[in-house]
Amino acid sequence: MDPVPALDEPLKKVLGPATAKVMAEHLGLHTVGDLLHHYPRRYEERGQLTHLADLPMDEHVTVVAQVADARLHTFASSRAPRGKGQRLEVTITDGSGRLQLVFFGAGVHKPHKELLPGTRAMFAGKVSVFNRRLQLAHPAYELLRGDAEETVETWAGALIPIYPATAKLESWKIGKALQTVLPSAQEAADPLPGPLREGRGLVTLPEALLKIHRPHTKADIEEARARLKWDEAFVLQVALARRRHADAQLPAVPRRPRPDGILAAFDARLPFTLTEGQRKVSEEIFADLATDHPMHRLLQGEVGSGKTMVALRAMLAVVDAGGQAAMLAPTEVLAQQHHRSVIEMMGDLAQGGMLGGADDATKVVLLTGSMGAAARRQALLDLATGEAGIVIGTHALIEDKVQFHDLGLVVVDEQHRFGVEQRDALRGKGKQPPHLLVMTATPIPRTVAMTVFGDLETSVLDQLPAGRSPIASHVVPAADKPHFLARAWERVREEVEKGHQAYVVCPRIGDEEDGAKAKKKSPEDEAEKRPPLAVLDTAEQLARGPLAGLRVDVLHGRMPPDDKDAVMRRFAAGEVDVLVATTVIEVGVNVPNATAMVIMDADRFGVSQLHQLRGRVGRGSAPGLCLLVTEMPEASPARQRLNAVASTLDGFELSRIDLEQRREGDVLGQAQSGTRSSLRMLAVIDDEEVIAEAREEAARIVASDPDLERLPALRTALDALLDEEREQYLEKG
């Protein structure tokens, strides 16, 4: 039997079952290789200490500091009624600030002997507040002495690595475990091809692992980071390049529009001219559709940049070429909305087979889960016979019963709301793989597009069509300045008096039984125990109070689909003045007469989500107004986030802010909690150059050696990255 390679050795064998169990459960580390890739978060220098002034609340921290003083107090308590209770208070300092440590009961004896003034140590614990001062209660600590042999060896070098740790496993214990496995780093197979590594002046992988865990100088850390970032970017880009290469080998039916077909007839009737951007992106799409391998294109466009028009022209081009096009929308409200607007835009071109239909007309059908049996049967028949050239629907389109005559193009709206399996199932309905166009109104920074959607070519629409109005956005601090909120409702009344309409958005519906148990999202939410505002309560309060006399209606995801559609129709027809809704209106809802939006508890939404919501107003010729209502204090991160949204309408800028705040998550789609990110060193936003260069190198290598036969170490690294789940994710991407 072959020996287990050093890096695949289970930690249980090397560190013992107890430590290995904690590492597996709390840090997701199972093998020696996993532990070697658990990099320090930062480094402390012996002479220079961490900033106690900047400690985050409620987080597990490790600090290096010096004891300023230590005092033992006795007190009476229920357990020690005769004044025999003991509390040790130790103040530590690092020059930037002071922090109090407290120990109680029998736990005071050891620290009382060891933590004498002048002693330097590492302390780890959870930061809490007591009497308005930050403190660590019962922190674990490790003295930094220069004499005991083990300590000197363990902390060799001037830089102390501080690892992402947990309450069960302090940073220095992880450091000691790494000391044990570090010799195995020599066995690490180097995934970067030699010429590439040398050409870029990068150190070898074993050297990088040694320097990241045991640096002697800051230059060591920089060299190690530069190398490890390259590994992550390169292996990921090779995975995506192989995906693109495999896609390019698949056959597809080329779809070219006829010069005198339905597309030409549609263009001839457009009451406006397309923007330069719409024309350019359409040309890119038509060029892809004309090839004999499947298009895989991501179309990202600012809210309201006219993506639907571009997608419709692509669908008409496919209908011209004798194929069918399917558009997949994430919600019924959106599917119905798209269906209505496509039929309006096409006029009699959408009345194929009907009296009064144009010569080139086709049928446009809607397919959703809640349709009546007769309408559904007719829609299925129209798809199977090819009578319907265009179908718009929700994931009901994916069911087995749905058969297409000749599916040529799949358009997926709002990609981030669809599981990969759903997209894949729809693509499987073509006789040959259909062309794929993915649309998103959540602008994605270029680097993220290169990593997350690296197997798709990207088109960007960043011009707004003529006639769109700017949107003014303001933060309304309801707690600090209640009269601002009163003024917000006055502004809504003023808009309605001018003949316009308004949205009020709330985070919750309000009929949930678990309202009280609604999950808290952050320490800021913890700080205020009030549950998020709800649609049903807010609508009632507004109709009775500040908006009395206006026609107020509600819309939320748990209403029966017919009711939702009826409300949207009434709102679109101007029969409702104010629509109080959840985020069902976030994507695609188009009512040009709606000019104002008030977002309640705006701090409970993400940056990109707020930008999406705001895009529902200002869709006509009158200027839009978006008011972000919050009770968060001035200095809180939540307020800074809202100020950022209010200060710019540039979705790409906001998506950068959003990403910097949320971090990347797992770029390969494993966003479920508990699964560790495949990116440990690479920051998608900051490392744009590395990602772009890695993409070029990866494309070059895959073009010459698609199966990586000449690069076995890279193949191994790829297998480690692409465990089965991720492999499927890319397969279906």
Interatomic CA distance for residues 211 and 221, integer angstroms: 6
CA angle 563, 418, 378 (to 5 degrees): 55
Residue 45: both structure tokens together: 């220098």
Q: Which residue has the higher pLDDT, 197 or 107?
A: 197
Kindly report which listed range (400-409, 493-502, 515-524, 687-696) carries the lowest average pLDDT score: 515-524
Radius of gyration of the chain (CA): 30
The neighbour count for residue 77, using CB atoms within 10 Å, is 12
* Residue 500 predicted with pLDDT over 80: yes
Q: Which of the four pLDDT bands, split at 50, 70 and 90, describes residue 321?
A: very high
H or E element at residue 594:
strand 594-599
Beta carbons within 8 Å of 111's beta carbon, 6+ residues apart? 70, 88, 90, 101, 103, 141
Interatomic CA distance for residues 594 and 499, integer angstroms: 9
Numbers of helices and strands, H then E, in the chain: 26, 21
DSSP symbols for 378-406:
HHHHHHHHT-EEEEEESGGGGSTT---S-
> What average pLDDT does range 11-30 have in this prediction?
87
Interatomic CA distance for residues 117 and 91, integer angstroms: 9
Span 521-565, pLDDT tens digits: 444 444 345 677 888 889 999 999 999 999 999 988 888 878 888
CA atoms within 13 A on the CB side of 239: 30
Q: What is the pLDDT of residue 413?
A: 83
> What average pLDDT does range 335-355 have in this prediction?
84
Contact call for residues 62 and 94 (beta carbons, < 8 A): no
Of 156, 175, 171, give the one whose Cα is nearest residue 125. 171
> What average pLDDT does range 146-167 have in this prediction?
59
Q: What is the pLDDT of residue 291?
A: 93
CA atoms within 13 A on the CB side of 197: 18
Per the listing, tokens 């990207």 go with 458
Ramachandran sector of residue 201 (left: φ over 0; alpha: ψ -120 to 50; beta: rest): left
Interatomic CA distance for residues 531 and 509, integer angstroms: 12
Contact call for residues 612 and 587 (beta carbons, < 8 A): yes
Q: What is the pLDDT of residue 155?
A: 41
Q: Which of the four pLDDT bands, split at 50, 70 and 90, describes residue 488?
A: very high
Q: What is the pLDDT of residue 282?
A: 95
Question: Running DSSP on this structure, what letter comes out for residue 425?
Answer: H
Per the listing, tokens 């007469």 go with 593
* Residue 150 predicted with pLDDT over 50: no
Q: What is the pLDDT of residue 152?
A: 39
Contact call for residues 598 and 629 (beta carbons, < 8 A): yes
Q: What is the pLDDT of residue 660?
A: 64
Pairing of the two strands 435-440 and 407-413: parallel
H or E element at residue 228:
helix 218-249
First to last CA, the chain: 38
Interatomic CA distance for residues 715 and 664, integer angstroms: 25
Q: What is the pLDDT of residue 627?
A: 94
Q: What is the pLDDT of residue 139?
A: 84
Q: Which of the four pLDDT bands, split at 50, 70 and 90, describes residue 148?
A: very low
Q: Which of the four pLDDT bands, split at 50, 70 and 90, describes residue 461?
A: confident
Strands (E), 616-668: 624-630
Size (the chain), residues: 733
DSSP symbols for 403-448:
--S-EEEEEEESGGGS-HHHHHHHHTTSSSPPEEEEEESS---HHH
Residue 646: both structure tokens together: 């209010």
Q: Which of the four pLDDT bands, split at 50, 70 and 90, describes residue 515?
A: very low
- Reduced to 3 states (helix: H, G, I; strand: E, B; else coil), residue 643 is helix
> Which stretch, 169-178, 313-322, 706-715, has highest mean pLDDT?
313-322
> Which stretch, 33-37, 68-72, 207-211, 719-723, has highest mean pLDDT?
207-211
> What average pLDDT does range 295-312 have in this prediction?
84
> What average pLDDT does range 581-609 have in this prediction?
83
pTM exceeding 0.75? no
Q: Which of the four pLDDT bands, split at 50, 70 and 90, describes residue 395?
A: confident
* Residue 724 predicted with pLDDT over 80: no
Residue 122: both structure tokens together: 């590492």
> What average pLDDT does range 370-397 have in this prediction?
89
Kindly report which listed range (95-99, 110-114, 329-333) carries the lowest average pLDDT score: 95-99
Average pLDDT of the chain, as a whole number: 81
Q: Which residue has the higher pLDDT, 444 or 330?
A: 330
> What average pLDDT does range 35-54 have in this prediction?
72
> What average pLDDT does range 687-708 have in this prediction?
89
Q: Which residue has the higher pLDDT, 325 or 450?
A: 325
Interatomic CA distance for residues 557 and 570, integer angstroms: 17
Span 409-443, pLDDT tens digits: 999 886 555 555 666 676 777 788 889 898 887 66
Span 241-278, pLDDT tens digits: 888 888 888 888 999 988 889 999 999 988 888 888 89
